[in-house]
Amino acid sequence: MAGAGSSNIPGYRPPSDESRSEDIVAIVASLTLLSMLALVLRVWTRLAIQRVALRADDWTILASWAFSVAFTINAGFQTKYGLGQHRLDLPKGSTRYASWLELFFFSQATHYVTVSLAKISILLHYLDFTRARSLELITYAMAIFVGLTGLATAIASIFQCTPVQKAWINSMPGTCIKQEALSLANAGLNIAQDFIVYLLTVRLLWTVQMPKAQRIALLIVFLLGGFVCVTGILCLDSIKQAFNSKDTTWNNHDVVVWSSVGANLAIVCASLAHLKDLVEHFAPGLLGHWRFTRLPGGAYYHDVDSVDRPGMMRSFDPVKDRVPVTLAREIGPGESDGSLMAGSDAGQPERGNSSGNSDAYSANQEDYTAYRITDRGLV
């Protein structure tokens, strides 16, 4: 940016009272409100439409947003003490610069935790879409790795100096690790993790069978996720500029802004992927009449149209039908399924028996996949 570059020119005196503080507050606050809106829609969908309890990935993204709010509040206070202003414009002899450094110092740790929790939430949601044991192990390993590295970088950021206060009071006796190396290493690691998570979700989009409209909707979400990867690169470049500048209060503007963009867009992406039922609630059929079902042994998509068709499993409304059915395995072509319907409630005819509803299933149907449907919904 022009302002950042010109402030690095030796002997250059920036215009008096030039400020980008209000820009920082407006951008960071707007992004936090945007992520809050996406999160509220996600939670409302889960509780009011799906009528199920919040899961681990929901609680994780809520925790991520809480740290994002802390980062936003911190950024607002940073502008009070000089962020977005030229360092030469700060009153000489005041403690404003040291106060800004202290706030900036702690904002790093909150940012590291925010992005780590957002990525963990996305990875936990990814587990709903894979039935391959190897991919589940890879996803769990990646989630653990992201969590441990996020915790490690947050701790390293807080205790980068001994005593801790030396990070913002340069005259205090003590020692510090090289802050630039820590920031650049974390930014590079964050970019690598972003691309790995992004590639995992792209693989999901490529392999899972779903209606075209739903695939397009997910593609838009994942393209937004791709922009999150780009923001990591832009943030890395901003960090380099800030450390190479003597006008740190001015040049850290971009670091704070891109950090907020990346963190809040990650929260938005993690939430938008859960809004299919919300869209179907207000616009039935827009994304196709398909529903996702999670099984202990895997995950599938299946048609939920009320009309039976060859090769498709007849669908049940889990609330209206209230028929728990447990199928033990996939049923082959021409194979009778009556012997596999051992989980029906008493008083209900077993699906597939000659005494049951003959229109529910046909022994001559092509392959279809077994599901477990309970009165709590599809699980």
Mean pLDDT of 178-201: 82
Q: CB–CB of 242/254 below 8 Å?
A: yes
The three-class DSSP label of residue 331 is strand
Among 188, 41, 64, which Cα is nearest to 124's?
A: 64
Mean pLDDT of 166-181: 86
CA distances from 128 to 59, 208, 273, 375 (A): 16, 11, 12, 20
E strand segments, 163-263: 175-176
Query: What's the pLDDT at 341?
Result: 27
pLDDT single digits (tens) 30-85: 999 999 999 999 999 999 998 999 999 999 999 999 999 999 999 999 999 999 99
Percent of the chain with pLDDT over 70: 66
**Tokens read off for 10:** 């030796």
Top pLDDT among 258 and 356 is at: 258
Least confident of 59-73, 183-197, 241-255: 183-197
Q: CB–CB of 341/331 below 8 Å?
A: no
Residue 255 pLDDT class (50, 70, 90 cuts):
very high
d(CA 314, CA 12): 74
Mean pLDDT of 171-185: 85
Top pLDDT among 115 and 6 is at: 115
Residue 155 pLDDT class (50, 70, 90 cuts):
very high
Domain ranges of the chain: 20-283
Query: What's the pLDDT at 199?
Result: 79
Top pLDDT among 308 and 196 is at: 196
Chain mean pLDDT for the chain: 73
pLDDT higher than 90, residue 234: no
Percent of the chain with pLDDT over 90: 32
Query: What's the pLDDT at 253?
Result: 92
Query: What's the pLDDT at 267?
Result: 94
**Tokens read off for 57:** 């990935």
pLDDT single digits (tens) 204-224: 666 666 666 666 767 777 677
Buried b (16+ CB within 10 A) or exposed e, 146-170: bbebbeebbebbeebbeebebbbbe
C-alpha angle 259/104/160, rounded to 5°?
Answer: 105
pLDDT higher than 70, residue 262: yes
* CATH number for the segment(s) 20-283: 1.20.1070
Residue 12 pLDDT class (50, 70, 90 cuts):
low
Question: Position 60: which residue type?
Answer: T
φ, ψ for residue 315, nearest 5 deg: -95, 155
Query: What's the pLDDT at 327?
Result: 36
Residue 237 pLDDT class (50, 70, 90 cuts):
confident
Q: CB–CB of 220/205 below 8 Å?
A: no
Cα torsion through 20, 25, 26, 27, rounded to 10? 90
- Count CB atoms within 10 A of the CB of residue 244: 11
Query: What's the pLDDT at 357?
Result: 43
Residue 365 pLDDT class (50, 70, 90 cuts):
very low
Query: What's the pLDDT at 221?
Result: 72
Mean pLDDT of 310-315: 35
**Tokens read off for 234:** 């832009």
d(CA 178, CA 150): 18
Mean pLDDT of 77-97: 88
The DSSP line for 51-95 is -----HHHHHHHHHHHHHHHHHHHHHHHHHTTTTB-GGGSPTT-S
pLDDT higher than 50, residue 135: yes
d(CA 373, CA 379): 7
d(CA 374, CA 290): 18
d(CA 158, CA 162): 10
